[in-house]
């Protein structure tokens, strides 16, 4: 897979490179339950909680981390389920920024 450069970039103004297929696979190996969604060109996971309040609390914590990282998930919530997709749209695919946020999300969910 050819590396692409983002138009936006990271916090230091450097262009974000789309991960190669092997880099993406290696990153996903360390993220239990996350998978590549080829149709949406991102990494995705579904989370289930005991009730709506727990799901909403999780989303609130994720939102705070996403805001700090200036990187925001695509997500949906139905009662106790939260579906999350991460993709760096300015880069056109999955970057290290997505993997970093997924890692933070895993820590929040633990």
CB 97 within 8 A of CB 69: yes
Q: How confident is the model at residue 8 (pLDDT cuts 50, 70, 90)?
A: very low
Q: Which two tokens stand for residue 96?
A: 């290290």
31 backbone dihedrals φ, ψ, rounded to 5°: -125, 90
Please indicate, yes or no, if residue 49 is contained in any of the structural domains.
Answer: yes
Asked whether the beta carbons of 7 and 90 are under 8 A apart, the reply is yes
Q: For 12-40, write each residue's pLDDT tens digit.
A: 445 689 999 999 999 999 999 999 999 99
Cα 3 from Cα 78, distance rounded (Å): 36
In a domain, 36, yes or no: yes
Q: Which helix (H) or strand (E) holds 77?
A: strand 74-78
Model confidence over 38-57: pLDDT tens digits?
999 999 999 999 999 999 99
Whole-prediction pTM:
0.85
Q: Which domain holds residue 81?
A: 21-109
- Residue 9 lies inside a defined structural domain of this protein: no
**CATH number for the domain harbouring residue 97:** 3.30.1360.20
Number of domains composing the chain: 1
């Amino acid at each position: 897979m050819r590396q692409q450069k983002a138009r936006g970039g990271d916090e230091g103004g450097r262009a974000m490179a789309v991960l190669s297929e092997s880099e993406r696979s290696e990153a996903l190996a360390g993220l239990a339950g996350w998978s590549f969604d080829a149709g949406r060109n991102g990494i995705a996971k579904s989370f289930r909680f005991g009730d709506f309040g727990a799901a909403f609390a999780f989303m609130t914590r994720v939102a705070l981390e996403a805001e700090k990282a200036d990187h925001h998930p695509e997500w949906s919530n139905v009662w106790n389920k939260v579906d999350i997709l991460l993709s760096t749209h300015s880069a056109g695919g999955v970057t290290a920024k997505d993997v970093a946020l997924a890692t933070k999300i895993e820590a929040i969910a633990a």
